[in-house]
């Protein structure tokens, strides 16, 4: 575990639905850790409301030592099915391990509602919506603080059917 995490309640997350909810909460940071290779990648999911009413989540890849400012754009999530999209502005190519790990993870939790085998998914000890430090065990398990949990309704919105 990196040494700057001593004061934070980082925690591995369980449950694909819970992980998806956390990632889409608005201001979430996850680390994917392969138990097979030891390789890890950290991503930030930032929600942006669009004027159309359909939000987009821009995803940054942690690319340097500074946990706050060294995120580089790698892709986005959009649409009623929360599909992950690569674009030409992505900092990593479609063959890059950082992109492939994210795609593999995201497809697994959104399409099969399962966490891939041999993969750990960690949050960074901060609320996935507002960024405040998590202190209560239940909040640490969810990755979302009690107030934000109320606001987001404690569950993923059911995917809107393809009316749009
Ligand atoms: Zn919060």
Q: What is the pLDDT of residues 59-110, one digit of tens each?
A: 999 987 665 678 999 999 999 899 999 999 999 999 999 999 999 999 999 9
High-pLDDT (> 90) share of the chain, %: 73
pLDDT at residue 1, as a whole number: 42
**44: nearest Cα among 112, 108, 93, 91:** 91
pLDDT at residue 112, as a whole number: 94
> Rounded to the nearest whole angstrom, what is the distance from the C-alpha of residue 153 to the centroid of ligand 1?
13
Q: Span 130-145, mean pLDDT?
A: 93
> Rounded to the nearest whole angstrom, what is the distance from the C-alpha of residue 162 to the centroid of ligand 1?
30
> pLDDT class for 164, splitting at 50, 70, 90?
very low
Q: Kind and range of the H or E element at 62?
A: strand 56-62
> Rounded to the nearest whole angstrom, what is the distance from the C-alpha of residue 88 to the centroid of ligand 1?
32
> Rounded to the nearest whole angstrom, what is the distance from the C-alpha of residue 94 to the centroid of ligand 1?
33
> Rounded to the nearest whole angstrom, what is the distance from the C-alpha of residue 134 to the centroid of ligand 1?
8
> Rounded to the nearest whole angstrom, what is the distance from the C-alpha of residue 53 to the centroid of ligand 1?
22
pLDDT at residue 51, as a whole number: 86
> pLDDT class for 57, splitting at 50, 70, 90?
very high
pLDDT at residue 161, as a whole number: 36
Q: Span 149-157, mean pLDDT?
A: 73
pLDDT beyond 90 at 41 = yes
CA 107, CA 115: separation in Å to the nearest integer?
A: 10
Burial of residue 61, with CB atoms counted within 10 A of its CB: 0-12 exposed, 13-18 middle, 19 or more buried: buried
Q: Where are the alpha helices (DSSP H) in the chain?
A: 16-23, 97-111, 137-142, 146-151
CA 27, CA 57: separation in Å to the nearest integer?
A: 9
Indicate the DSSP class of residue 160.
P
> Rounded to the nearest whole angstrom, what is the distance from the C-alpha of residue 5 to the centroid of ligand 1?
19
pLDDT at residue 64, as a whole number: 75
CA 54, CA 76: separation in Å to the nearest integer?
A: 13
């Amino acid at each position: 575990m990196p040494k700057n995490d001593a004061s934070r309640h980082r925690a591995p997350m369980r449950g694909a639905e819970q992980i998806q909810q956390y990632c889409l909460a608005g201001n979430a940071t996850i680390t994917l850790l392969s138990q097979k290779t030891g390789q890890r990648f950290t991503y930030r999911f930032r929600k942006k409301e669009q004027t159309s009413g359909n939000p987009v989540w821009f995803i940054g890849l942690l690319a340097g030592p500074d946990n706050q400012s060294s995120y580089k754009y790698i892709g986005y999530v959009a649409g009623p099915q929360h599909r992950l999209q690569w674009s030409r502005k992505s900092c990593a190519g479609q063959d890059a391990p950082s992109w492939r790990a994210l795609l593999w993870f995201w497809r697994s939790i959104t399409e099969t509602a399962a966490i891939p085998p041999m993969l750990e998914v960690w949050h960074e000890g901060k609320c996935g919506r507002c960024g405040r430090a998590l202190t209560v065990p239940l909040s640490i398990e969810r990755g979302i603080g009690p107030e934000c949990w109320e606001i987001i309704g404690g569950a993923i919105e059911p995917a809107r059917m393809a009316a749009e």
